[in-house]
Amino acid sequence: MKRFKFRLESVLKYRRFMEKKAMVRLMQHKKACEKMKMSINRLDSRRSDLAQKCSQAGANGAEAFVYLSYKAYLNALQEEIEATLVELGEKECQVKEQEALLKKETTKKKVLERLKTLRLEDHRGLIAKLEQEYLDERVLTRRGVSA
């Protein structure tokens, strides 16, 4: 009886490695997206707090210089939020690409694993058939009847 050996085992190991690598990259991109979302939320809350202060200062009759400083800072925050939103869109696109890559790598790995199981089943069937032939031959030779 010959021992089962899958000749593409090294390729299967490589596919597992590539799948793990794709998973790690996907998690890194997702983490970057979460950081961007948190940054946007912080900037937005800072902008809303400053807008409240600006409106209170305007209602209290603040100096024009202070009011204009608030307005300039509010505009800078708004521009930063918009730039961060654009960057977030790019990051989300990268996440989708990584998800597609992970799906592709997983599919490749599963195909090889399925091939391995099919070959193993074929091998087991062949071994069972050979063992049965051997046993039949022994029975026939014990009885003194030749095949």
pLDDT in tens, 24-36: 999 999 999 999 9
21 occurs within a structural domain: yes
Q: Are the beta carbons of 100 and 13 closer than 8 angstroms?
A: no
66 occurs within a structural domain: yes
The string of pLDDT tens digits covering residues 85-122 is 999 999 999 999 999 999 999 999 999 999 989 999 99
Q: Which domain holds residue 51?
A: 9-116
83 occurs within a structural domain: yes
Which pLDDT band, with edges at 50, 70 and 90, does 52 fall under? confident
Average pLDDT, the chain: 88
Residue 74, pLDDT score: 87
4 occurs within a structural domain: no
132 occurs within a structural domain: no
Number of helices and strands in the chain (H, E): 2, 0
139 occurs within a structural domain: no
86 occurs within a structural domain: yes
Distances (CA, A) of 105 to 21, 50, 91, 108: 10, 48, 21, 5
**Which residue bears the tokens 């010959």?**
2
129 occurs within a structural domain: no
- How many domains would you assign to the chain? 1
The overall pTM is greater than 0.75: no
